[in-house]
Structure 1
Amino acid sequence: MDDAELTALLAELADRYRVPGAQLVVHRSGRAVRAVVGETAVGSGRRVAPATVFPLSSLTKPFTAALAVTLAVEGDIDLDAPLAEQLPHAPAAPGITPRRLLSHTAGLAANPAEDDPYLDSLERWAARSARRFPLVAEPGSAFSYSNIGYLLTGRLVEQATGMSWAEAMEVMLLRPLGLPTGIGGPPGVLGHVVRRTDGRAVLAEHQPAPPAEAPAGDLALSAEGLAAFAGQFLHDARPGPLDPEAVAAMCRDPLDPDAAGPYGMADGWGLGWARYDGDGPESFGHDGTGDGTSCHLRFDPVGGTVVALTTNADTGQELWGALLAALRARGVKVADHLVTGPAGLGPSAPAPDTCLGRYVNGDLDYTVGRDGGGLWLGVGPHGRYAVECDAGLRFALRPRSGGPFVHRGRFLRAPGGPAADGQIRHLQVSGRVARRHDL
């Protein structure tokens, strides 16, 4: 496969999913092929170039993890000591450690409060708000995806280096990799939402995140930049800014076998990297979706394959799935994990009444109820989803108005072990755990 064939494939998929612009890099057998198609914004006439940077959103997290693990290798951070012993104003639970922050197993809520007045700086936020939310699960007992954990990591980086998170990112990681500074500021592309009624891509409203949230989602890079970063984690990688010990630590899943893993998001999780087992060799990576953008990265460290995709439409997630299938047909394989649909569910079975109730994760508020239409799950003010459950209390959600399954989740009696009374204590959906509110 050469650049021309890859460009033709990407152009066909971008047209099918109405993605205005995209970049793709595939590294295999020591050779990279590249494709760039489309515009930075619909009708702008500005072509996407190989160096155009796309907002990475949550794909920023592996970069923040690499900073923290590098500092740990140098002795500036202790990954396994209580966070409260290393960072003033940190949550006091002794089980919260930097390693658990990076692997989303610290039991923290998913997001800071949207109206938090202290999100203008990491230092102010950590001092005033870091202890705001109660734990959603006991540290180490369950995977629960948490932006808050990465804000705390960013503040820990600042304290260890004496630099801002952005300065440390540029000096310690981006510059040594030869990557342009892509932190904050206006994005190189504009995001789009593809309307389901007529298939038109329209500009999405760009809502800049507060400065304190930068470590969880503020980087912007090209697909070339993503592939260069992933190249540090291949077994035949050339020497780079990441110590081999840091590389190994990031690709090691620290979750206890008896704990609740990242169901509905991945097959496992290291420090910053998700682990994927399905449809290919064991691979690692991360996804990032923002205001009308969708970026994806996978790498097989043993086989040396890297696939990096950037898009400026919310349908980039669908394009990604079709792309992986097309690449597999051409012999390029990395593993992935389906995040939508009923995959992995057994035969449908009625959920017990013990599942009904309210579940809370910080500002995320879920309600599970039953009516004439069957079991439903409500997400705050955003309406209700129909719930199809199996005997193992795993479920898939679909809009009550009809349409395809959109998310997967499960009810948990107790992360880390069975509850003595058999009571349902947690809900896990899209990798986020919510604690039963009425117990």
Structure 2
Amino acid sequence: MPYYVPSVPAAPRAAGPHRQDLQNRLDALAETYGVPGAQLVLTTGTGTVSLHTGIADAATGTPFTPDTAVALGSLTKPYTAALVLLLVDDGDLDLDEPVADHLPALRGLPEVTIRHLLSHTGGLPTGPDSDTAAATNGTRYLTSLCTSDQALFPPGTDFSYSNAGYVAAGLLVEEITGMPWHEAVRALLLEPLGTSAAFIGDSTVSRPWAAGHALNTATGRVRPVQQNLASLEAPAGALMASAADLAAFGSALIGRSHVLPPAVAKGMLRAEHGARPGALADGWGLGVAQYRQGDDLWCGHDGNAQGTSCHLRVDPASGVVVAFTGNAGGATALWRELAAELRDLADVHVPAGPAPAGDRGRPVLLPECWGAYRNGGADYRVSAGPDGSPVLSIDGDLSLPLVCYADLSYDLVDPATGRREPGGRFHRDPATGRIDRVQVSGRTARRTADG
């Protein structure tokens, strides 16, 4: 059985002049990148085009449909942020009150507020892997991570993407509503948005869902992979949804639905002070990222689970919403190319990622950055490679060449292709002038040793 089977296009809810071109490109790009199935929904405010292609599971050949749910990974986080903000809007919480007022597990970081959790500006570590998290409960998980000796920076002064922060946000929802997070997100968001609830690990899912897939580059075939997520991590990554579901949430973010009150939607989209996400985005609000495209500012989020890649973008000014899901790791590259082609195919200039860096001058060595850094249980080391140029190792296993610049930003270099990708930045302590932190793809690590 072939791993890729083009689907029969669904009838669009609103026809567009470029619809067939879009379908053709979605079919072709899915085959090019080894993605068994994908969905694309494009809403302009006056009409919607909904497309899908391929199969949901390479092992069974089950067709992808417009209703097929895909594991959203971190695209779950905006939903959890919206839940918290609904409670703020009802007066049950205050954004600027300490989280420890409600969750004693955060007493070790008494200055961290709810706002800090949602904007990743609390200085919390990323959190352990799912296997480690599965062996504990929420209270022990947070108590072990949220301590002064593990804090990455003073709350509100920088950005570090943190699953632990959203585990805390989910527990906060449970504390205030008296409902498990799964029930709260279903009752307060999913059902009002018209989304049938589905979660990773739920054996009772009643709607069609897609398996994640990994590509064997030697054979060109894909195989299903197991989705693995500890139950306590659900608020950070357990949702499964279709591109149409994502588009409905995106429409609510820009005021096209009563589900999110105006104060909630505007709060999510507004940039937060101190949130400098580097290679992840151009800014961050309460649960959503910001992406600059020329003079326009889009908002949204990306999500990857095991073998899936999902993306949401909204333009508050024009009302355009773009939602994409794919059930293989290669869907991230598919999304990037498709987003670039939407300019010609649909006259939509959607950013797949942050704006390109400007001219940073000639690369420099920056040996003062060499040393050991830590974020929770993750270890990073910057050192000299065989040719004297800097390399970054992660947990002692992966070594990637760096290209550093005088403004303390750097690119990561793919050893196989030599392609440069924005990696992050180093941070200099203004009081001492010493490099004291490094941000790697949005996650900040604190310096622990020199050289």
Could you say whether these structures have the same fold, taking a TM-score greater than 0.5 normalized by the shorter chain as the test? yes
Q: Secondary structure at the match of 1:320?
A: helix
Matched, 1:168 2:184: yes
Of 9, 18, 29, 1:13 maps to 29
Matched, 1:317 2:332: yes
Match of residue 192 from structure 1: 213
> Is 152-161 or 374-383 further displaced after alignment?
374-383
Q: Is the 8 A contact 2:124 2:164 kept in 1?
A: yes
* Mapping of residues 103-252 of structure 1, within 5 Å: 103-112=119-128, 116=132, 121-122=137-138, 125-126=141-142, 130-131=146-147, 134-184=150-200, 185=202, 188-198=209-219, 200-235=220-255, 237-238=256-257, 240-252=258-270
Q: Secondary structure at the match of 2:449?
A: coil
Q: Secondary structure at the match of 1:303?
A: coil
Cα 1:105–1:116 shift into 2, 3 Å: same
Residue 15 of structure 1: CA displacement? 1.6
Match of residue 425 from structure 1: 436
Q: Structure 1 regions of 5+ residues with no counterpart?
A: none
Q: Is the 8 A contact 2:34 2:215 kept in 1?
A: yes
Of 78, 85, 89, 1:62 maps to 78
Matched, 1:278 2:290: no
Q: Secondary structure at the match of 2:249?
A: helix
Matched, 1:351 2:365: yes
Match of residue 387 from structure 1: 402
Cα 1:151–1:316 shift into 2, 3 Å: same
CA distance in 1, matches of 2:49, 2:412: 38
Instruction: Compute the RMSD of aligned alpha carbons.
Output: 2.2
Residue 357 of structure 1: CA displacement? 0.4
Q: Is the 8 A contact 2:247 2:322 kept in 1?
A: yes
CA distance in 2, matches of 1:420, 1:275: 30
CA distance in 1, matches of 2:142, 2:179: 16
Match of residue 438 from structure 1: 449
CA distance in 2, matches of 1:304, 1:291: 31
Cα 1:22–1:118 shift into 2, 3 Å: closer
Matched, 1:96 2:112: yes
CA distance in 2, matches of 1:376, 1:128: 31
How far does the alpha carbon of each residue in 1:350-379 deviate from its partner, in whole angstroms, 9 at most, with x for none? 233221100100111100111432111111
How far does the alpha carbon of each residue in 1:74-103 deviate from its partner, in whole angstroms, 9 at most, with x for none? 111111011112222214323300111000
Q: Is the 8 A contact 1:109 1:133 kept in 2?
A: no
Matched, 1:363 2:381: no
Residue 117 of structure 1: CA displacement? 6.1
Q: Secondary structure at the match of 1:181?
A: coil
Q: Secondary structure at the match of 1:308?
A: strand
Cα 1:40–1:371 shift into 2, 3 Å: closer
Q: Is the 8 A contact 1:78 1:98 kept in 2?
A: yes
Residue 8 of structure 1: CA displacement? 1.9
Residue 347 of structure 1: CA displacement? 2.9
CA distance in 2, matches of 1:49, 1:114: 30
TM-score of the superposition, structure 2-length normalised?
0.89
Q: Is the 8 A contact 1:20 1:201 kept in 2?
A: no
Q: Is the 8 A contact 1:95 1:140 kept in 2?
A: no
Residue 231 of structure 1: CA displacement? 0.6
Cα 1:117–1:11 shift into 2, 3 Å: closer
Match of residue 30 from structure 1: 46
Residue 344 of structure 1: CA displacement? 3.8
CA distance in 2, matches of 1:153, 1:92: 16
Residue 244 of structure 1: CA displacement? 1.0
CA distance in 1, matches of 2:393, 2:224: 25
Identity of counterpart residues, as a percentage? Answer: 39
* Mapping of residues 401-412 of structure 1, within 5 Å: 402-412=417-427
Q: Secondary structure at the match of 2:296?
A: coil
Q: Secondary structure at the match of 1:40?
A: strand
Residue 292 of structure 1: CA displacement? 1.1
